[in-house]
Amino acid sequence: MKKLSRRSFLLNTGLAVTASTAAVAVPSLLLSNADSKYTGKRLNIALCGLGRYASILADGFQDAEYCKLAGIITGTPSKAEAWKKQYDIPDKNIYNYQNFDNIKNNKDIDLVYIVLPNSMHKEYTIRAAKAGKHIICEKPMALNAADCEEMIEACKNAGVQLAIGYRLHYEPYNLEMKRLGQEKVFGQVRLIEASLGYRTFDPNEWRLKKAMSGGGPLMNVGIYCLQSSRYVSGEEPLSVTAQFGPVTDKQLFAEVEASIMWQLNFPSGLVSNCTSTYNCNVDRFFASADDGQFELSPGISYGPFKGRTSNGELHFPDINQQAAQMDGISKLLLENKPLPSHITGEEGLKDMKVIDAIYKAAATGEKIMIV
C-alpha cells in the first residue's frame, strides 16, 4: 500500500471508518488547516535524549502540521552539533543535562518530549514540569507505579499537561481493533492473543541493563501487548498470572528477562494471553469474539500493518504514526484543551500497575490481583 502523508490520510478516512465511531475512530482532533480554531501556529517541541527513537521522531516532524522540532537536550556534544546542523536548531535552544533547568526561561520551547532510558523518565518529567513545560514521556512511563504517581503530581502542581507516547492511539488499524472490540461488532470478546518481540544481540544495549530499563522486553515492547488488550476490551484487568521464559543466553540476559508470558483476566470473563520477547521476531494481535474474529499481523509495531476480520481483509492508509501522535497532542495544547485520558499520565500509571503485577506474578508463581 502506498504510504500517505498524515494529512492525506485524514482527508480520506471516511473511506475506511464510519462517522458513527468518532470516539474510537481516527482522531477528530487532527483537522486540516481549514479548521477555524487553527491559527497556523506550531507547538515548539524539544527532544530530550537523541537516541534511535528520537531520530524516528525527528522524521515525524517533517510530516507534522501542528508542531516543529525547536530544541534538543543531549549529553553528547557531537550529537548536539550534528542535530544543530541537520535541523537548523539555534544555539539558545540546545541544552545538556546539567543546564536543562534553564529551559524555564526559554519562551521558544513549549513542550519537552522525553526520549531517555526508562530510569530517567521520572527525573526529567519532574524537571520539565518545574520548568513550566508540557511533556510527552515515552513509554513505559517510569520504572514502577509509585514513580508514575510522583510524576503526575509534579505536573499537576506545575499546571502542565503530561502525555505518554502511545502512538497506536493515532494509528488507523489499531483504532479499528479498538472499535471492533469496544462496540462488540462481533459480540463479546472472549480471547485476546498479543505478541511482540525481536532478537537482540548487543550486550551493551541499555535496555539489557536493569538499572536503566527496569526490566527486559516487558518494559519495552510488552507494553504494546498490554495496551492493546486494555483498549480493545475497554476493560481493566482484575488479576494476572505470568511466567518467565527460558534464559537462552546467560551473559546477554544476566540482568533482565529474555522473554515473559502473562495471562490477564478481565471482568467480562475475557482472557488475554500475551508474550514479549528478545529471543525471536513476532508482531501479532488476535481477538476472538462470540460471532467472529479480528486480527493484525504485523499489528503493534511500526507497521506497515495487515489486518483482517471474519468479514475479510482490512485496508487503511499507512500513516506516519509519530507525526499523527505529535500533531494530535500539539493541536489540543495550542487550543488550550485537556488531553484525552487514554494518553495521559493516568493511563501510564494504569499500565505500570499491571506491569508491576506481571513481574510479581512471574517471580512468585502466584495469581496476583491488580489494584
Q: C-alpha cell of 29?
A: 482532533
Q: 222, 349 in Cβ contact below 8 A? A: no
Q: Which of 95, 113, 122, 139 is catalytic?
A: 139
Does the pTM exceed 0.95?
A: no
Phi, psi of 11 (to 5 degrees): -75, -15
Q: Which of 66, 224, 231, 278 is catalytic?
A: 224
DSSP 148: H
**pLDDT mean by block of 10 residues, the chain; 371 residues:** 38 33 32 46 97 97 97 98 98 98 98 98 98 98 98 98 98 98 98 97 96 98 98 98 96 98 98 98 98 97 96 97 98 98 98 98 98 86
Looking at residue 72, its pLDDT comes to: 98
Picking from 290, 308, 291, the residue whose alpha carbon sits closest to that of residue 299 is 308
Taking the C-alpha atoms of residue 96 and residue 119, their distance in angstroms, rounded to an integer, is: 17
Domain borders along the chain are 6-167, 172-316+345-369
Q: 42, 359 in Cβ contact below 8 A? A: no
Domain 6-167 has CATH 3.40.50.170: no
Looking at residue 330, its pLDDT comes to: 98
Looking at residue 37, its pLDDT comes to: 53
Tell me, yes or no, if 224 is annotated catalytic. Answer: yes
- For 172-316+345-369, CATH gives 3.30.360.10
Taking the C-alpha atoms of residue 320 and residue 199, their distance in angstroms, rounded to an integer, is: 24
Strand 259-265 versus strand 292-296 pairing type: unpaired
Taking the C-alpha atoms of residue 48 and residue 71, their distance in angstroms, rounded to an integer, is: 9
